[in-house]
Amino acid sequence: MSHIPPQNPYQQPDTYSVPQALVGSRKDQALAIVALVTGILSVTVGCICFSFLPLALTAIVTGVLGMRKVSQGTGEGYGMALTGVILGSLTMLTYAVGFAYIYFSAQSANNY
């Protein structure tokens, strides 16, 4: 009979190693995430709090900067950055058309 102590099947291994492929491939996604979040907030919360303008502008600016980082190879998240730019632009366009409609319909109502 051998005198090997029984192994605990629930015991964790002594050391953990991170694969080298994961260590060097981390790129910055912060601008893309900020663009996406502020783009979504500009569409949803912007109409409630009338804060669509700073949210949409933040989404557009950070989205463009995030896409620039991706094209330079120092960042990732191109889809999130692009979505933030699209949502921010659509929000700005929607509110501009809405305010123009209200303004011109009020002007035409005063002419009659």
Residue 9 lies in a domain: no
Per-residue three-class SS string for the chain: CCCCCCCCCCCCCCCCCCCHHHHCCCCECHHHHHHHHHHHHHHHCHHHHCCHHHHHHHHHHHHHHHHHHHHHCCECCHHHHHHHHHHHHHHHHHHHHHHHHHHHHHHHHHCC
The pLDDT of residue 47 is: 77
The pLDDT of residue 8 is: 72
Number of separate domains in the chain: 1
Task: Give the global pTM.
Answer: 0.72
Q: Which mean pLDDT values do the consecutive 10-residue runs of the chain (112 residues) have? A: 68 64 71 96 86 94 96 92 96 93 86 69
Model confidence pLDDT, tens digit, residues 60-82: 999 999 999 999 989 899 999 99
The pLDDT of residue 19 is: 62
Range of the domain at 54: 27-104
Residue 16 lies in a domain: no
